[in-house]
Amino acid sequence: MAEYFKGIGQVKYEGSTSKNPLAFKHYNADEKVGDKTMKEHLRFAVAWWHTFSALGADMFGDGTLERPWLAAADPVQQAKDMADAAFEFMDKIGIDYFCFHDRDLVAEAPSLKETNERLDEIAAYIKDKMKASGKKLLWGTSNLTGNSRFMHGAATNPNAEVFAFAAAKVQKALSITKDLNGEGYVFWGGREGYETLLNTDMGLELGNLARFLGLAVGYADKIGFKGHFYIEPKPKEPTKHQYDFDVAAGYAFLQKYGLLNKFKFNIETNHATLAGHTVQHELHYARVNGILGSVDANQGDMLLGWYTDIFPTDVYGTTMMMIEILRNGGLPGGLNFDAKVRRGSFKTDDLFYGHIAGMDCFAKSLKAAHGLLESRELDDFLEKRYESWKTGVGAEIVQGKATLEGLAEYALAHDSPKSESGRQELLESIVMRYLYA
Ligand code: XUL
Ligand code: CO
């Protein structure tokens, strides 16, 4: 079997003073942070699409990336070579999980039947490699955006034939995911939205999207797929408006259509920022509502308004994420690097530098967040800030015992309430202490 990443061995932890670009400075897989190892806390995954099958094309230029595993002319051979490269990469970088879309695994054939046969062959190939290596599938999904048949959406297409075609793709992707013991299945509604409301029946489209998800859940029950279902919100790109805009919009949608008990959320940093939120907000909102599932770990470029999928290096931002994840007691899913090297970083070893930077960033943040939460400095502050809700009038309100006229009587009998400082700067300086400890 060909070796694709020649000259690169197992990436090891060498500590924060190491200058070796192919070593971890903070990620030390078996080091314990609290009661779990870093590896158990972080559950990193490699994204098949950005790392192995994409060539770096953008709106203004062709692909630039050197990807020797894509050289074979035969699509199935190409897919097998790509799987070889993927398992070599995961082994050398020390990442246990991967994620894929059906279309990343092998190129589509002229007919659906032939595409499914290709998928079966490549899934069997990957299954053997998983057995031999112990690598695991964090989640699978179906690409319902790339082919031109999906230009007006998949589940929300005005044409029912396209809905049926998309359903066939999900059926296949779900059964492969189950066969590979996938721990989850993601729905990202890339073209489930609209370009203009002038040509859109939103009410029907939303209902159809819910019916589509319901059919998938029903099929999963039939085949005994026990993994988690995730919605991955994104407000726009490629469509002007997507129905899974953010976690709050997705939560309302799931509640309306009675799907809430079946889904959690896969939250992506760059999607959150496109929605005008921080990822901390999205994780927090999901956590307090019991729907935090998994994370697509990347970041946007603050100078660009569009979607850039950069490897995470903003330690402050990832520390805010790890606070949410630790407060959630961990994730049912993991941290999938839905991130790509820049198209100018076209060598295969650039893939290592991107992942090492991302893994070190999260490892450093895990330690900072753990230290901060262990100290209870934030919790003690929060407890004090909200103490008026524990007794007296606050407790009555929380317990639903208050009436509006009773509260009016209370306010008339007491002095005008006094405010306390919110102490934002103090709290930020506490965070800094743990970050740069
Ligand atoms: C696109 C995106 C997807 C999903 C899976 O913005 O994030 O790759 O993660 O379909
Ligand atoms: Co994503």
Which sign, positive or negative, has the C-alpha torsion 365, 371, 377, 380?
Answer: positive
pLDDT for 302: 86
Say which of 26, 41, 101, 281 is annotated catalytic. 101
Question: CA distances (Å), 234 to each of 20, 174, 193, 275, 303, in order?
Answer: 37, 22, 11, 7, 19
Average pLDDT of the residues in 364-387: 98
Q: What are 89-114's pLDDT values in tens digits?
A: 999 999 999 999 999 999 999 999 99
Q: Is the pLDDT of residue 125 over 90?
A: yes
Q: DSSP of 17-85, one letter per residue? A: T---TTEESS--TT-EETTEEHHHHH-EEEEHIIIII----BTTB------GGG--SSHHHHHHHHHHH
Q: Is the pLDDT of residue 15 over 90?
A: yes
Average pLDDT of the residues in 121-146: 98
Average pLDDT of the residues in 15-30: 98
Ligand 1 centre distance from Cα of residue 391 (Å): 46
Q: Is the pLDDT of residue 306 over 90?
A: no
Q: Closest ligand to 48 CA?
A: 1
What does the angle CA 68 – CA 73 – CA 77 come to, to the nearest 5 degrees? 75
Do 15 and 4 contact (CB within 8 A), yes or no? Answer: no
Residues 6+ apart with CB under 8 A from 134: 96
Q: Closest ligand to 146 CA?
A: 1
C-alpha to C-alpha distance for 218 and 200, rounded to whole angstroms? 28
Average pLDDT of the residues in 60-81: 98
Question: CA distances (Å), 427 to each of 330, 362, 372, 423, 430, in order?
Answer: 23, 21, 11, 6, 5
Question: Bigger pLDDT: 373 or 436?
Answer: 373
With cut-offs at 50, 70 and 90, classify the pLDDT of residue 1.
confident
pLDDT for 305: 82
Q: What are 165-178's pLDDT values in tens digits?
A: 999 999 999 999 99
Q: Give the global pTM.
A: 0.98
Q: What are 31-62's pLDDT values in tens digits?
A: 999 999 999 999 999 999 999 999 999 999 99
Say which of 104, 244, 296, 309 is annotated catalytic. 104
Known catalytic residue at 50? no
Ligand 1 pocket (Cβ < 6 Å) reads 101, 141, 186, 188, 232, 234, 268, 296, 338
- Tokens 């690409």: give the residue: 143
Q: What are 168-214's pLDDT values in tens digits?
A: 999 999 999 999 999 999 999 999 999 999 999 999 999 999 999 99
C-alpha to C-alpha distance for 280 and 287, rounded to whole angstroms? 10
Check whether the bond before 21 is cis (ω within 30° of 0). no
With cut-offs at 50, 70 and 90, classify the pLDDT of residue 307.
confident
Q: What are 332-349's pLDDT values in tens digits?
A: 999 999 999 999 999 999
Residue with the nearest Cα to atom 7 of ligand 1?
A: 338
Q: To the nearest whole percent, how much of the chain has pLDDT over 90?
A: 98
Ligand 1 centre distance from Cα of residue 111 (Å): 25
Average pLDDT of the residues in 289-299: 98
Known catalytic residue at 104? yes
Average pLDDT, the chain: 98
- Count how many residues are written for the chain: 437
C-alpha to C-alpha distance for 355 and 353, rounded to whole angstroms? 6
